[in-house]
């Protein structure tokens, strides 16, 4: 499929976690606007939240929002679903996140896993500056930021035989996922940089004309995967076998208090792991 058509389809049907979260609100206060070669990065406050958006404050979605009264609480359902991946991999020592935004995932993981090394790849340097200035993101020996394309970084990590316990894919603007981060060829590189029991956690479509093709693509590379859904879809796939129900439940109990404090409801989150998808016959895979 032509890249333009793929982008248009994604733009039309991608269900983002932030969709309709805030809607069009009156009285938003613009705090910061920064130009980059990708467009304007805006920071504004409304309804007790500080948010980041691209190009306009008036939009159907938000890149990031932080609750000003409780900054550690995760505002969006997709970030809560992604954090529940600790049920599948409870103690990752090395984490790669593609996409920074306002650093909700990075800041949360750094608090919960203070010994873990967290590498983030973000294509837009302006986002890195805004995340530091307005959302509390701090680089350091265990919190490292790389300004480049996520696929280029992952392909180089593959060549250099680097491995991660967890790879989180959270790279898109408000209306589409870059098509080169959706294909069989890309996911094969992702799988190659996972440790033997490592997992990939992808924030992606909830309703889309590409839904079956994306499912078939992940299944072709990883086999059966967990298919979590609430506003967004979060795919949790593994290089090796998926953990069973007993393991998931034990890890959920282990993380109950810490994840509960940031908004993850343990029973509801665990129930989502009852949904899995596998190989889909007769569906065209997404390829470069």
Active-site residues, by number, are 170
Q: Tell me how far apart the alpha carbons of residues 228 and 104 are, in angstroms, rounded to a whole number.
A: 19
Strand spans (E) along 127-269:
143-147, 164-169, 194-204, 225-230, 232-238
Q: Tell me how far apart the alpha carbons of residues 240 and 14 are, in angstroms, rounded to a whole number.
A: 29
**CB neighbours (10 Å) of residue 20?**
11
For 161: left if phi > 0, alpha if psi spans -120 to 50, otherwise beta; the answer is: left
Measured in whole angstroms, how far is the alpha carbon of residue 120 from the centre of its chain? 11
Q: Tell me how far apart the alpha carbons of residues 118 and 99 are, in angstroms, rounded to a whole number.
A: 12
Beta bridge partners of 50: 45, 66
Q: Tell me how far apart the alpha carbons of residues 249 and 20 are, in angstroms, rounded to a whole number.
A: 32
Distances (CA, A) of 111 to 115, 259, 261: 9, 11, 12
Q: Tell me how far apart the alpha carbons of residues 118 and 113 are, in angstroms, rounded to a whole number.
A: 10
- What kind and span of H or E run contains 276? strand 276-277
**CB neighbours (10 Å) of residue 141?**
6
Beta bridge partners of 225: 277
**CB neighbours (10 Å) of residue 63?**
25
């Amino acid at each position: 499929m032509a890249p333009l058509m793929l982008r248009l389809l994604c733009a039309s049907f991608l269900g983002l976690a932030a969709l309709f979260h805030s809607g069009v609100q009156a009285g938003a206060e613009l705090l910061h606007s920064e130009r980059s070669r990708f467009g304007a990065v805006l920071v504004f406050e409304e309804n007790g939240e500080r948010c980041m958006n691209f190009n306009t404050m008036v939009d159907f979605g938000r890149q990031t929002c932080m609750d000003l009264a409780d900054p550690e609480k995760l505002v969006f359902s997709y970030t809560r679903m992604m954090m529940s991946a600790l049920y599948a991999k409870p103690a990752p020592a090395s984490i790669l996140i593609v996409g920074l935004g306002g650093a909700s995932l990075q800041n949360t993981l750094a608090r919960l896993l203070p010994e873990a090394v967290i590498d983030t790849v973000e294509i837009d340097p302006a986002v890195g500056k805004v995340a530091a200035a307005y959302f509390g993101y701090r680089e350091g020996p265990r919190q490292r930021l790389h300004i480049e394309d996520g696929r280029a970084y992952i392909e180089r990590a593959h060549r250099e035989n680097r491995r991660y316990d967890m790879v989180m894919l959270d790279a898109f603007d408000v209306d589409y996922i870059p098509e080169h981060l959706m294909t069989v060829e890309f996911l094969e590189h992702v799988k190659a940089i996972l440790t033997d029991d490592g997992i990939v956690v992808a924030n992606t479509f909830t309703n889309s004309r590409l839904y079956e093709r994306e499912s078939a693509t992940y299944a072709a590379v990883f086999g059966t995967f967990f298919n979590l859904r609430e506003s967004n879809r979060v795919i949790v796939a593994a290089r090796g076998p998926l953990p069973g129900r007993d393991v998931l439940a034990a890890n959920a109990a282990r993380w109950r208090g810490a994840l509960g404090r940031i908004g993850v409801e343990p029973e509801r989150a665990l129930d989502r792991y009852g949904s899995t998808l596998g190989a889909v016959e007769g569906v065209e895979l997404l390829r470069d």
